[in-house]
Structure 1
Amino acid sequence: MSNSLVLTTSLVRWDGGTAAYHLVRIDGEPAEAIAMHARIERLETGRRRGFGSVKVSARVGDTEWKSSVFPSKPNGWILLVSKKVMRAEDLAEGDPVRLELELL
C-alpha cells in the first residue's frame, strides 16, 4: 500500500461563526486509502489520534507543509488550507487544487 496520494479537488470556504476557514475535501478512493492507513496505525499503536486525524505532509504547487486530515461525514476527510498557502499559490475559493499527500 502506497503512503502517497495525488488528487485534484476544489478549495471550499467554510464559515465557522466567528471565523472562516478554507479547506479541501477528500472523497472516493483517496479517502478510503486514508481510512485504511488510520485503521492500520490504530492496530499497530493500540490508540487513535485526536479527533481520528491522520498526520500528513501536504503539497500544493511549490508549497509544502505538515498538517493533519480530519474525518468528515459520510466517508471523507478534510484538510485545512492556510492563508499563507493560498497567497503563495494564488488560490481563491472554488479554485481546483492539485494536492499531493504523504500519509505519515
Structure 2
Amino acid sequence: MELEFSGEIWFWRGPTPHHFVTVPEDQAADLAAISRQVTYGWGMIPVTARIGATTWTTSLFPKDGGYIVPIKAVVQRAEELDVGDVVSIRLTVDT
C-alpha cells in the first residue's frame, strides 16, 4: 500500500522528545484496515517514508485512533525542516 499526503510537523516533548506528522483521517482509516496483517506489535506499522529527496525506514505510531509519522533528525536536517512546516509525505507500507 502506498499513501501520499501533506501535514504539519509538530513536536512532542515527552520523555523522548520527537517530531511527528499526523496521518490524515482518511488515510489512517485505510491503514487501520490492514494493520492486523502488517503490524509487528503495539499497533506499530513499518513503512518506508519519503519527504523531498530523503527516504528512510520507520514505523507509524498509533495515536488517538489514528497514526503519526516520526520525522527523524537526519531527515529534518537534510530537508531543512522545522516545527510548523507543512510537508508532503509518501509512505509505502512494508509487508
Q: In the aligned structure 2, how far is the partner of 1:27 from the partner of 1:76?
A: 8
Q: In the aligned structure 2, how far is the partner of 1:91 from the partner of 1:25?
A: 16
Match of 2:66 among 66, 76, 85: 76
RMSD over aligned Cα, in angstroms? Answer: 1.3
| Over 6 Å off, 4+ runs | none
Deviation at 1:5, TM superposition (A): 0.3
Q: Which runs of 5+ in 2 are unaligned?
A: none
Larger radius of gyration: 1
Instruction: With the length of structure 1 as denominator, give the TM-score of the two structures.
Output: 0.84
The number of aligned residues is 94
> Counterpart of 1:4?
2
Describe the superposition over 1:21-55 as per-residue Cα deviations: whole angstroms up to 9, x where unpaired. Answer: 1011113111011111213x06xxxxx52211111
Aligned residues with identical type, % of pairs = 32
Instruction: With the length of structure 2 as denominator, give the TM-score of the two structures.
Output: 0.91
